[in-house]
Structure 1
Amino acid sequence: VVGSLLCARGNRGLAACGMLAATAILVLGVIAAARLGGADFPDVAQLAPALVAGIAMTCATAAGVPSRE
């Protein structure tokens, strides 16, 4: 939702910030789930999908935000 709200403006900077915020929320969710499960920090295999998706979407939005017509 955070990423979508900031991408709706059509501004590359806001879109990239939205994707970074969305990635941070995903990573914090994975960390919180690991903490609730009894671990101090999640394994890299648990964090990798959120980080890879976040980096890919941030690069995609920085390359060009689709126009809303």
Structure 2
Amino acid sequence: MPKPAKPQIRVYITEEKDRLLKAMAGIKDSSVNAIVNEAIDRWLEEAEQKEVIEKFNLDRLDEVG
């Protein structure tokens, strides 16, 4: 049975940021997807976001209740 597709998000950025991300991905032998995922992971680990996650029990969103 095939794996379900991962959720996708769409963001709009400037052409300058698009070119820069693509260039950085090429230089680092990575992908724009990997770079953006790393940025999101780092943002979610910041103290401010962790406080919100804990306050609203967002770490349990996938629990069946």
Q: With CA pairs under 8 Å and 6+ residues apart, which has the higher RCO, 1 or 2? A: 1
Q: Hey, which of these two has a bigger chunk of helix by percent?
A: 1
Q: Which has the larger radius of gyration?
A: 2
Q: Same fold (TM over 0.5)?
A: no
Report the TM-score when normalising by structure 2. 0.32
TM-score (norm 1): 0.31
